[in-house]
Structure 1
Amino acid sequence: MPKVLVLGGVGFIGRNFVAHLVQNNLADHIRVADKVLPATAYLSDAHKKVFADPRVEFKQANLVNAAAAEKVFTRDDGTQFDYVFNLAAETKYGQAEEVYDEKVFQLSLTVAKEAAKRGVQVFVEVSTAQVYDAGKKPSAEDGKLKPWTLIAKAKLKAEEEIKKLPGLNLIIVRPAIVYGPSDILGITPRLIMGAVYRHLKEEMTLLWTKDLRLNTVHVRDVARALWHVAATKAENGGRMGPVVAGTVYNLVDKNDTDQGAVNKHIETIFGITTGFQGTMISQFAKLNLDSVTEDVNDKHLQPWSELCKSGGVANTPLTPYLDKELLKDNSMSIDATKIEKELGFAYSHPEMTEALLREVIDGFVAQGIWPQGTTK
């Protein structure tokens, strides 16, 4: 079985990917490298068990540093890792462009250079579908590139640079909005807003319309797809297989998720009503987005804090805060048929369901980082 290196493996997608490897017995050695210690990362009991597995080895490292990256890639027995997955990147919105240049672009370039130097069989770079033009038409892998967040700009810059590295057996994966157990920044802020409006006994009214696309993909399908592209490339002779070095694959479920679909689930889960401001009011808000963002977050943060306090939640990484980059009318509309047609990949969670969203909330409640009694 292959030896696997997971960079950024303590993060949301990373921990679920490591769980997939362990639970399906896909690797005999899994090294996880991350700047964050598992003990401080709000791991669920299931994920703590995964990280305690004897096949899993953790190394703390700042992967922006070339010397640290070299140590992470070096095995004691002198052999190389077969597959390397780069999930390490700054994921928090609203930071300075310099932060993303260092912690997204420079980091990816550093670890990709190390992978190329060592000739690993497959290097999978996890990017984002935010690199596409945010129009209504679904973007396939050859679609117009127009990144609409600073994270996406840094990711695209990294993609373009690491494609130039000789000897790098590169595969790029661009997921839509990822949700599922341990999701903090994807759909979860909207779920928290649902709890807030249940507490306030008010209608939850969002900017824009119900048709604004928020295409999604479940984290377990992302984990399965990452392994699928790597294993398919390796099993078919590396460069000569059906997965050509530098190939890009989008990941998105069959739900064609939009704001309306998400809100329907929120209405059912929290027993509230929801609505939308419509285009005219939203366009006015867009002209005053800094002020609107501040007002929106002020509306949600205090009630959430009160809910947590009354529910005995002392510390939580969860917040309803939405950065202004995410409040714009940018459509996440993605076409991901390529990975299905070329590689035969099939989604295990083709549609977002109430049960899958409740699983997210229930998991947080079990961890003691979401107050009990907020759902219907």
Structure 2
Amino acid sequence: MTIEKANVLVLGGVGFIGRHFVHYLVSNNLVQSVRVADKMLPQTAYFTETFKETFSKVEFKQTNLINKASIAACFDREDGKEFDFVFNFAAETKYSQVPEIYQERIFNLSVNCAKEAAERHIKLFVEMSTAEVYDSKQEPSTETSKINPWTIIAKHKYKAEEVLKKIEGLNLLILRPAIVYGPAAVLGITPRLITGRVYAHLKEEMKYLWSKDLKINTVHVQDVTRACWYLTQWYMDNNIAATGTVPVFNLVDKQETDQETINVHMQEIYNVKTSYHGTVVSAFAKLNLDSVMDSVNEKHLGPWAEIVRKNGITATPLSPYLDVELLDNHSLSVDGSKIERETGFKYSVPVVTKEKLIEIIDQFKEIGVWPKQDSD
């Protein structure tokens, strides 16, 4: 079998990374067939016309991937054959929920899907984890750095990683991306972009906690999708399964993105000033994160709702809301060189540019969920 003739199952394929990966496969005619399994319907996922066209060319199966019987049904094919490759992008992404939600929608989901893949002797199961599993520090973390997950999502992702590595017969590859950004991203950098729009509306200076060099490393979704398929080819060409190893790769661009990187671009996009609160206020915030978070979100949510209303937008998935886990003084600093060094992969979007951020805004404008004007 050549990899171009592969039949692929994409779990969570309607989500942000999933839809881009499906589009990459289809638009480049890389595989024989694609099945997408997701609890969310494409019709309710705020698709652009491009994604609508892409998904008209794939098989979609709405399913609950925490149910073992439903998982088995996703793997079943009418011709009786098995899928060649399975990519797992399915996971709970919202913060501030009870632990049981993450146990079920991250850990149990990944483990049960991986067990199904192992039983069916799938050639490769690609698990999308997160770089938030590493200890929070300014120095870049490599794939062998200290593990100390600092978000509840990362804790369950890493727990799943460890179990997946022990599943007998599972051909596994694990990816740990930094903050993934790009068109259709609701989380990550996007809330910062929304906040910038709020301050343009308020005509106020935008002040951040901590320091300008707090690392918030990034990777463009285009490179995440390319890496997923590139590594599949690399895995097969080098017969990695025969070695019994589980490759783990970080995904992060070349920029060592920090708060100031994004702020500089937002100053240009919105013509707003940005600065930082300083050590005294940041120290107070560290001790009172919950109350500070409430105050910050109250300041942003009202004006955003007003902007949305004035622009005639009746529904939008976008919000400037910040969760307390993401407001804390955690550094996401990651070394993404191993994938280049060991496999030859090259990042196509090495740095965050103003143009790449505007692409995010423009695509949301295209589907009518972002204000048409960038200022009032």
Interval of TM-score (by shorter of Structure 1 and Structure 2):
over 0.9
Q: Once the 2 structures are TM-superposed, how far is the Cα of residue 234 of structure 1 from its aligned partner?
A: 1.6
Which runs of structure 2 are paired with 1:1-376 in the superposition (5 Å)? 1-53=5-57, 56-240=58-242, 245-374=245-374
Q: Distance in 2 between matches of 1:269 and 1:45?
A: 25
- The 8 Å contact of residues 121 and 238 in structure 1, kept in 2 or not, is answered as no
Distance 1:375 1:47, change over 3 A: farther
Residue identity matched to 1:13: I
TM-aligned CA distance change 1:316 to 1:79, over 3 Å: same
The Cα of 1:245 is off from its aligned counterpart by: 3.6
> Equivalents in 2 of 1:375, 1:338: separation in Å?
42
Cα distance in 1 between the residues matched to 2:83 and 2:375: 45
**Secondary structure of 1:174 counterpart:** strand
For these two proteins, the number of residue pairs brought into alignment is 372
Cα distance between partner residues in 2 of 1:324 and 1:257 = 21
| Deviation for aligned residue 1:237 | 2.5
What SS does the corresponding residue of 1:347 show, helix, strand or coil? coil
1:151: how far off? 0.3
Asked if the contact 2:13/2:36 (under 8 Å) is kept, the reply is yes
- How far does the alpha carbon of each residue in 1:49-78 deviate from its partner, in whole angstroms, 9 at most, with x for none? 11012xx10001111111000000111101
TM-score scaled to structure 1, two decimals?
0.97
One-letter amino acid matched to 1:349: V
Contact 1:3 1:29 in 2 (8 A): yes
1 CA distance for matches of 2:279 and 2:25?
A: 45
Post-superposition shift, 1:281?
1.4
Contact 1:269–1:375 (Cα < 8 Å) also in 2: no
| Structure 1 unmatched runs, 5+ | none
Kept after mapping to 2: 8 A contact 1:168/1:245: no
**Contact 2:96 2:323 (C-alpha < 8 Å) held by counterparts:** yes
Q: Distance in 2 between matches of 1:278 and 1:140?
A: 30
Matched position secondary structure for 2:222: helix
- Contact 2:215 2:256 survives alignment (8 Å): yes
For residues 370 and 310 of structure 1, what CA distance do their matches in structure 2 show? 11
- TM-aligned CA deviation for residue 42 of structure 1: 0.6
Deviation at 1:235, TM superposition (A): 2.4
Structure 1 letter corresponding to 2:355: A
Identical-pair percentage: 55
Task: Kindly indicate whether the alpha-carbon contact (under 8 Å) linking 2:14 and 2:45 is maintained by their aligned counterparts in 1.
Answer: yes
SS in structure 1 of the partner of residue 36 of structure 2: strand
What SS does the aligned partner of 2:35 have? strand
Quote the offset at 1:238 in angstroms. 4.2
- CA–CA separation in structure 2 for the residues paired with 1:96 and 1:135: 27
Q: Secondary structure at the match of 2:234?
A: helix
Q: Alpha carbon RMSD of aligned pairs, Å?
A: 1.0
